[in-house]
A and B are shown apart, each in its own frame.
Chain A
Amino acid sequence: MKLITSLPLIEILILFISAFLMPFVRKNKNIKIVSVTALTFSFILSVVIVINVLQNGAFYFNTGYIDTILGIQLYIGPVESLLNSLFLFVIILVACFSFFTIDSEIRENRIKLFYIMVNLLSASILGVIFTNDIFNGYVFIEVAALTSCGIVVVKETQDNIKAALKYLIMSTIGSGLILMGIAFIYSFTGHLNIDLIHQAILEDYTQYQKALLITIALFTSGLGVKSAMFPLHTWLPDAHSTAPTASSALLSAIVLKPFAFFLIKIMYRMIGFDLVNQFNIITIILTLGCCGMLFGSLAAIFQKNIKRLIAYSSIAQMGYIFFGIGLGSPFGAAIAVYHMIGHAVTKSALFMCSGLMIEKTGYKTIDNYKGLGHEMPITFALFTLGAFSMIGIPIFPGFISKWYLSIECIHLNQLLLIFVVLASSLLNAVYYFPIIINGFFGIENLKNKEYHSKKVETQKLLPIAALILAMVLLGAFSKNILDFISPELH
């Protein structure tokens, strides 16, 4: 039992130590092996944690001495364990994909750096998910910010460095806001542990209502910058579209989510549902989520570059997550978490497909992909399935989160919001369907195209296929997953 409760920390330690081992490894091939071995070990441990949580329920882990509240505490509930294992699953598959593509995208002496960054990034993300101590969370957020800038800048082109600098500045401002929020809350509660802060706030929040409001605003804007909440998203399209394919898959699928989840923790575990609903900020999050859903999709319609298009689509999808948080009900937050998982799996597959398309055709613009479905059928079929999930075709996770969001809107008697969800889905269809239709159909498009002429190696397709399979399974077993995570947030 003691061993199992310390598994989360061991998981983080394995990833950190493997990252620091890499400078001693000479060959690039061996570095890839070290990286993926560490990730796989952590993934196995994370599965053990999920099984343990299923059997024995949530648990705490105190670092250092057992019975003290002064040390850093980790909390592992159903949501944390599920997010942890699924994120690691996605990271492993993206890392496997990067084995075969990264050599052509970045300089040879940078490959080592890339994998060091990937392992540090995954360790810090696990830290953000697990932590029950807001200052510890801040430290991990900072590590994640620096390493995610690192995996953007490894490519070393001019656009790339510009985008990474923009990202660095924006996310540093975000970190500063979070730190200020922590300082505010520490000054009037005297604690950094989320549970203890919750108790302290419940006891005498009436005296500190303004301070509490400022704290929530600081946390919302700070974490909003990092997870691309609508008006603070400007760094995202540049960073995600110029980075190497594997990096953009990681950034878009994984790196945006832990910050949104940390916001859920702050809102609902630290401050509490009843109290949060008294402030207007929850309405602001809801409004910004709606704006993100609509404007992200609207901006994506006018994009010519496929990677930029998918990056803008990410902003729209993050809008759904903030929409779920902003509903201000436990089930809304559960759907937000479900959408994080679904989007992580889908968006990484989409980015990897687009990377293969760019590699095989040599063009980045969508106009050159006419009839491509005939030339590289499997890649395009996988892309189509991913796009179906984004649009919200039944069975796929995109549909399920939209469906439950609408149902929750009816429960809360906010019928107008359903139209926002509907409009956003239609807008998604407007920019994904032309790519698919022009890819597969049209006599003009298919002229002079030979079937299966641009063959993609099987090892590059396998990770994408595994992700799409996981996506379908997530959709099919959505009821079980929602049952698993929603009592936690009640």
Chain B
Amino acid sequence: MNDLILKNIVKFITPCIQLFGIYIILYGHISPGGGFSGGTIIASSLILQHITFGRSSVHTIFRKDRALKLIGFSLILYSLMKGYSFLSSQFHFPHPPTGVPGSLLSGGFILPLNILIGIIVSCTIYIIFTLFANE
């Protein structure tokens, strides 16, 4: 992919896509969207980068083994948090504050869970892409 127009446009558009993905993840609990859709958007920006600038451009910051560990870590955090919220009402453990409805920091566990889902989905979809991309 040695097209100058493509390279310049991708350079410009990648941060925009990623910002949009992060927006969708963060506002998942008060507007349409959430971890899964935001995660796929971020993964699509990584895939675009991979196609235009080659494997090395992504792999300098995002290696496969590191991504797997990131997924594992996020999944552990996710299951601990979700397990806590399932079990806590039985024992009357404290809940996180729910905040003012409509503001960004509200909804208790939903925001951190959405962020974790976003990380898991973006890593997974990018790894699935690398399985099929032959170099």
Which residues from chain A sit less than 8 Å from chain B, CB to CB? 2-3, 5-6, 9-10, 13, 16-17, 20-24, 63-66
**B90 interface hit (Cβ, 8 Å):** yes
B residues in contact with A10, CB < 8 Å = 83, 87
Q: Bound complex: CA of A20 vs CA of B68, how far in Å?
A: 10
**B125 interface hit (Cβ, 8 Å):** no
Q: Bound complex: CA of A64 vs CA of B93, how far in Å?
A: 12
- B residues 59-117 with Cβ under 8 Å of A? 68-69, 71-73, 75-76, 79-80, 83, 85-87, 89-91
Find out whether the CB atom of B68 lies under 8 angstroms from the CB atom of A23.
Answer: yes
B residues in contact with A24, CB < 8 Å = 69, 72-73
Contact pattern, B 47-69, Cβ under 8 Å of A = 1, otherwise 0: 00000000000000000000011
Find out whether the CB atom of A63 lies under 8 angstroms from the CB atom of B86.
Answer: yes
19 A-B pairs with CB atoms under 8 Å apart are: A5-B90, A9-B83, A9-B86, A9-B87, A16-B79, A17-B79, A17-B80, A17-B83, A20-B79, A21-B72, A21-B76, A23-B68, A23-B71, A23-B72, A24-B73, A63-B86, A64-B86, A65-B89, A66-B90
Find out whether the CB atom of B72 lies under 8 angstroms from the CB atom of A13.
Answer: no
Number of A-B residue pairs having CB atoms within 8 Å of each other in the complex = 39
A160 → B minimal CB distance (Å): 18
A74 → B minimal CB distance (Å): 10
Which residues from chain B sit less than 8 Å from chain A, CB to CB? 68-69, 71-73, 75-76, 79-80, 83, 85-87, 89-91
Q: Bound complex: CA of A19 vs CA of B121, how far in Å?
A: 18
Q: Bound complex: CA of A22 vs CA of B69, how far in Å?
A: 9
Find out whether the CB atom of A2 lies under 8 angstroms from the CB atom of B90.
Answer: yes
The residue in B79, B80, B85 that gathers the most chain A C-beta atoms within 10 A of its C-beta is B79
- The residue in chain A whose Cβ has the minimal distance to the Cβ of B85 is A64
Q: Bound complex: CA of A22 vs CA of B72, how far in Å?
A: 8
Find out whether the CB atom of A2 lies under 8 angstroms from the CB atom of B72.
Answer: no
- The residue in chain B whose Cβ has the minimal distance to the Cβ of A65 is B89
B residues in contact with A6, CB < 8 Å = 87, 90
Give the residue of A2, A9, A21 whose beta carbon is less than 8 angstroms from that of B91: A2
A residues in contact with B83, CB < 8 Å = 9-10, 13, 17
B residues in contact with A23, CB < 8 Å = 68-69, 71-72
Apart from A6-B87, A10-B87, A24-B73, what 7 extra A-B contacts exist at CB < 8 Å? A5-B90, A16-B79, A20-B72, A20-B76, A22-B72, A23-B72, A66-B90
- The residue in chain A whose Cβ has the minimal distance to the Cβ of B78 is A20
